[in-house]
Structure 1
Amino acid sequence: MEHTFVICAYGDSPFLEACIQSCLNQLSVKSNHSKVVLYTSTPSDQIEILCQRYQIELFVKRGGGIGIDWNNALSVVDTKYATIVHQDDLYLPEYGEAVLSEFEQQVDLNLVFTDYCENDAQGQFRPRHLNLKIKTFGLRLMSLFQNKAYQRRIYAFGNFICCPAVSYNLERLSDFQFNSSLKMVVDWDAWERIMKRQGKVKFISKQLMVHRIHEDSETTANTENQNREVEEFMMYQRYWPKPMVKLLMKYYVKNQKANGKT
């Protein structure tokens, strides 16, 4: 095997089984040399039953936040490539094959990520609102050139990359760690630091995964308690002087509602 879908499970999610099934569906594609495992810091009967039902190896470690859990999730992977799967999300059958193909064609890739769509707690697809369209446009613009300075300048306008749509080259990122002190911009901070490293990132402009937005999601929780606003302000300061940061934040705060309950 070359690639691992490592599912991060927290608590008892009603969407976990569908998530597992979507990952296992990848294995029916002959050219997709992937396997599926599950990591949790909150073991439960439901998680154990699902792992037994689908014959998935279960790893349990002590967590304490998104950064720690994501670091723990990658630590149990023994393949060259990995995708950290969020328990509420879904992957189209072509995701793994597409990602592996890109990694194999370009050996200096650190990250490969795809476009995505969104659904809700009832499994209904959400319209591609303006914020999502802007993110896709930003990714396509960023991908026009493989020049790092150019890519970081485009990325300075916001976090366009959806974290569960990302796959990692762990041979090239063997010493990488997520920042465990952050709550909402753990991914943005990670991509920003990885973009400074030797190597490249690649965007696949196909919607190959489904990101679920619902009232119990981490995105919704951190948006409502303003963690997102505080941490995004900090990230923007890495790129821009304060007057520009304040201007960009006015737009971002307005568009946070797109990730809420409605």
Structure 2
Amino acid sequence: MNDIREKHTFVICAYKESRYLEECIISLKKQTVKSEILMVTSTPNAFISGMAEKYNIPLIVNEGEGGIVQDWNFGYRQCKTHYVTIAHQDDVYFKDYARRAVTFLEKAKKPLIYFSDYCEIRDGKKVADNQLLKMKRLLLSPLKIKAFQNSRFVRRRSLALGDGICCPAVTFATQNLPKQVFTVHFRSDEDWEAWERLSKMKGTFAYDSTIQMGHRIHEESETSIIIGDNARSHEDYEMYCKFWPKWIAKLLVNVYSKSQDSNKTR
């Protein structure tokens, strides 16, 4: 399996002028198997066009409504392959990510999503172990058992205490999913809300417990901005209410909000 371009696409969502975009592109170009690579943007500029031209990547401009979720949905719709990874411009993918994603998905009877474990990238260094990562791995630990990956009950229990799935680490099996995976509602928990909806569907959440990508934590990231203005706690409460009575949801928000300090750059 040296070429999977007919099966798998990385679609990069580029925004403004990220200094990390080129590093993301290089990580996709260095995969051990070749995937299709596209780039989309709702903020076209010379920098993004230059990166696309330099690495011979088709660039598609979203001329409709912009925004994180809108760009994800737009990028998702541009892909023609069965398997799609929405690559976040600040993050990097380790060389075996695409190969493992396709292998896991093709082994599943009815795959919905593949997702791997991940490390954080802080100040250019990989951080594979901290309080937040330990918590997320604990939440996902039941899904290490393949039989549980098909269980709607177990999947929902794994999501009920928090979002352990890292959004950029996910590959979608588009043939088994809705045409629009994400809904425009949240600023931070848009991915958790998507997993909650997908967890109700019949099929497989293919969990790869090995670290296959790096998620960058920096002060310019949307997650850090949202935590800074306290918007995330309100969204977390709404998500917990999908799984628990309101009084339990309030308690969980208080506990989980403390873990957000791990996502701060200072």
Q: Which amino acid aligns with 1:75?
A: R
* Counterpart Cα distance in 1 of 2:260 and 2:181: 27
- 2:13 is aligned to 8
State the aligned residue count: 257
Q: Which amino acid aligns with 2:83?
A: Y
CA contact (8 A) 2:152 2:202 kept: no
109, 118, 123: which is aligned to 1:107?
Answer: 109
- 1:134 is aligned to 135
CA contact (8 A) 1:103 1:112 kept: yes
Deviation sequence 1:209-256 (CA, Å, 0-9, x none): 000000000110111111211111000001111221121111111111
- 2:198 is aligned to 194
117, 120, 124: which is aligned to 1:118?
Answer: 120
- 1:37 is aligned to 38
TM-score normalised over the length of structure 1:
0.95
Q: CA deviation at 1:124?
A: 1.6
* Counterpart Cα distance in 2 of 1:41 and 1:67: 11
Q: CA deviation at 1:127?
A: 5.6
223, 226, 229: which is aligned to 1:222?
Answer: 226
Q: Which amino acid aligns with 1:193?
A: R
16, 25, 31: which is aligned to 1:20?
Answer: 25
Structure 2 CA distance for partners of 1:127 and 1:25, relative to 1, 3 Å: closer
* Counterpart Cα distance in 1 of 2:19 and 2:125: 15
- Aligned residue for 1:18, secondary structure, equals helix
* Counterpart Cα distance in 2 of 1:76 and 1:127: 33
TM-score normalised over the length of structure 2:
0.93
Q: Which amino acid aligns with 1:52?
A: E
2:70 is the alignment partner of 1:68: yes
CA contact (8 A) 1:6 1:74 kept: yes
Q: Which amino acid aligns with 2:93?
A: Y
Structure 1 range deviating more: 80-89 or 247-256: 247-256
Aligned alpha-carbon RMSD (Å): 1.3
* Counterpart Cα distance in 2 of 1:176 and 1:69: 12
Structure 2 CA distance for partners of 1:82 and 1:127, relative to 1, 3 Å: closer
* Counterpart Cα distance in 1 of 2:140 and 2:18: 30
Identical columns (%): 38
**Gap runs ≥5 in structure 1:** none
Q: Which amino acid aligns with 1:240?
A: W
CA contact (8 A) 1:8 1:69 kept: yes
Runs of 4 or more off by more than 3 Å in structure 1? Answer: none
Deviation sequence 1:134-177 (CA, Å, 0-9, x none): 10121122343232112212210110000000000111114333
* Counterpart Cα distance in 2 of 1:136 and 1:147: 18
* Counterpart Cα distance in 2 of 1:110 and 1:129: 29
Matches within 5 A, 1:146-185: 146-185=150-189
Q: Which amino acid aligns with 1:180?
A: V
Structure 1 range deviating more: 107-116 or 60-69: 60-69
- 2:53 is aligned to 52
CA contact (8 A) 1:2 1:33 kept: no
* Counterpart Cα distance in 2 of 1:4 and 1:188: 22
CA contact (8 A) 2:116 2:212 kept: yes
* Counterpart Cα distance in 1 of 2:128 and 2:179: 39
Structure 1 range deviating more: 236-245 or 63-72: 63-72
- 2:210 is aligned to 206
Q: Which amino acid aligns with 1:198?
A: K
Deviation sequence 1:98-126 (CA, Å, 0-9, x none): 00001111130100000000012x31223
Q: Which amino acid aligns with 2:59?
A: L
